[in-house]
Amino acid sequence: MAKNLFEDFSPVSAKLWKQKIQFELKGADYNETLIWNSPEDIKVKPFYDKEDLSKKLSVTTKASQFRICQNIFVFDLEKSITKALDSINRGAESIRFNIPEKTVDIAKLLEKLPLEKITVYFHFNFISIDFVKKIDAIAKEKKATIYCLLDPIGQLAKEGNWYNTPEKSNFDTLNILTKETQSLSLISINSGLYQNAGASMVQQIAYSLAHANEYFNRISDINQPIVFQISVGSNYFFEIAKLRAFRILFKTIAKEYNHNLDCHFLVTPTKRNKTIYDYNVNMLRTTTECMGAILGGADAIANLPYDALYHKDNEFGDRIARNQLLVLKNESYFDKVDNPADGSYYIESLTQQLAEKALLLFKNIEANGGFLKQLNEGVIKRKIQESADAEQNLFDSGKETLLGTNKYPNPNDKMKEDLELFPFVKIKPRKTLITPIIEKRLAEKMEQERLSKE
């Protein structure tokens, strides 16, 4: 029988560890030297142990089942079909089609795809009952797994207006669709909007769940999983904890509506910390972000190409982005263990604190009339802007670092002649019902100054 060697050592309490650390600090203050406060107002300690967990968290993440997703904008139908088939042959396990208009021949688009093997997501720039019912018929006939990412509230938040529909409201359209379709998931939450606009993690979770709660209150039959389109940044352990806290709180809220299906996470690296100068660093950022997404429990990950800010879609950028995920899956073995973050005192503690703070904010939103009311009144935008401004100040002062931009920039790096896309906030004058929530990168002002001097 094997001898338990650990019996020879007496247990060491957190108090003893802290005393040892204080001795090593040689008089420096423990709290000032080693404890830092995150933007979420979480005090991060230098070490964690079982005493930091007040209760065991129940969160199920299936890292072994995450799928590699390829984004495809459907402009030319034949080229989109060719790109989808090529992406699948090169390792993509799901496709997210961006459909700009109702004239797209959806049957032809899906005809040659191996729908029995892949998952398909559709993002629309419109809502059409007839169009979605065509997709439902295909999904039913071919037993395909298809998610239609319909999010009228997200449209209002991002563009300032609802979708144009013949029905009285966008919610009426969704209610008709949930009754008349059987094989599709229809409801989606564009959580990435809040992250890319500068919301803190607590705000991202609370706003996304309050956003979902509006659908629970207005759509009578939600019988399919709700998709959260989430963006993740480079704060590695916090992002893992964020996704876990998301699942815990969604389950708690959904239970109140007798919705017993787990939510579905479609995760993409954020644009907020990406840069046009020293652009290869974007690959390092997205690799870390994809790792965090996997360990946090993403169902599918659509990686962001390193040159997505300033280049049009191109084969090389897409291939590198896809290969990053293939390396993580097939060579780094990130798909071998479910619930990989379980038992990490640090991640469990972060998960618990993020969940508690987000739940408090969620309750505050509901007590003050709900998410839509606060969105219409401009409260949500104002709160996000406050968080974004605080982070921007950290970046501008050099306390938050983006390598190659505000730290160790390469003065010989020139980008003016390489810009195929406008990489900054676009101003589009139009009449809106509310002021939209604007996505903005941290480095935009600094990059514009550098470009003007080239």
Tell which residue, 383, 112, 271, 103, has the closest CA to residue 95.
Answer: 112
What was the pLDDT predicted at 425?
95
Q: Does residue 358 contact residue 209 with C-beta atoms inside 8 Å?
A: yes
SS3 187: strand
Q: Which two tokens stand for residue 205?
A: 């979770």
SS3 400: coil
User: What is the rounded CA–CA span in Å between residue 76 and residue 99?
Assistant: 11
Q: Does residue 202 contact residue 235 with C-beta atoms inside 8 Å?
A: no
Q: Which two tokens stand for residue 352?
A: 């618990």
What was the pLDDT predicted at 266?
98
Q: What is the DSSP letter of 232?
A: E
Contacts of 181 (CB under 8 A, 6+ apart): 132, 133, 136
What was the pLDDT predicted at 2?
62
User: What is the rounded CA–CA span in Å between residue 325 and residue 334?
Assistant: 10
User: What is the rounded CA–CA span in Å between residue 27 and residue 31?
Assistant: 12
User: What is the rounded CA–CA span in Å between residue 314 and residue 324?
Assistant: 16
Q: Is the dihedral of CA 228, 230, 235, 237 positive or negative?
A: positive
Full-model pTM:
0.95
User: What is the rounded CA–CA span in Å between residue 66 and residue 265?
Assistant: 10
User: What is the rounded CA–CA span in Å between residue 31 and residue 43?
Assistant: 10
What was the pLDDT predicted at 53?
82
Q: Does residue 88 contact residue 95 with C-beta atoms inside 8 Å?
A: yes
Q: What is the DSSP letter of 397?
A: T
Instruction: Give pLDDT tens digits along the chain (454 positions).
Output: 566 766 777 788 888 988 999 999 988 999 999 999 999 999 999 999 888 887 777 788 888 899 999 999 999 999 999 999 999 999 999 999 999 999 999 999 999 999 999 999 999 999 999 999 999 999 999 999 999 999 999 999 999 999 999 999 999 999 999 999 999 999 999 999 999 999 999 999 999 999 999 999 999 889 999 999 999 999 999 999 999 999 999 999 999 999 999 999 999 999 999 999 999 999 999 999 999 999 999 999 999 999 999 999 999 999 999 999 999 999 998 888 898 888 899 999 999 999 999 999 999 999 999 999 999 999 999 999 999 999 999 999 999 999 999 999 999 999 999 999 999 999 888 899 999 999 999 999 999 999 999 9
Strands 300-302 and 94-99, by their bridges, are unpaired
Q: Does residue 148 contact residue 120 with C-beta atoms inside 8 Å?
A: no
Burial class (CB in 10 A: 0-12, 13-18, 19+), 320: middle
Report in angstroms the alpha-carbon separations of 180 from 174, 184, 312: 10, 10, 38
What was the pLDDT predicted at 6?
65
